[in-house]
Amino acid sequence: MPDWMTYFVDAAVLVPVMVLFVRLAGLRAFSKMSSYDFAVTVSFGSVLAATVVNPGVTLGQGVLAMAALFAVQWIIGWVRSRWDAVEDVADNDPVLLMRDGTILHDALRRTRVTEGDLRAKLREANVLDYGMVRAVVLEATGDVSVLHGETLDDGLLDGVRGTG
Dump pLDDT digits (tens) for 81-119: 888 887 777 777 899 999 999 999 999 999 999 999 999
Neighbour tally for 51: CB within 10 Å:
23
DSSP state of 28: G
Q: How many residues are present in the chain? A: 164
Q: Report d(CA 123, CA 104) in Å as an integer.
A: 18
Residue type present at position 18: M
Q: Report d(CA 82, CA 16) in Å as an integer.
A: 31
pTM of the model: 0.68
Confidence of residue 78 (pLDDT cuts 50, 70, 90): confident
Question: What's the sign of the alpha-carbon dihedral 126, 130, 131, 135?
Answer: positive
pLDDT tens-digit readout, 13-64 = 998 988 888 777 766 666 666 777 778 888 988 999 999 988 889 999 999 9
In the prediction, which pLDDT does 116 show?
96
**3-state class (DSSP) for residue 136:** strand
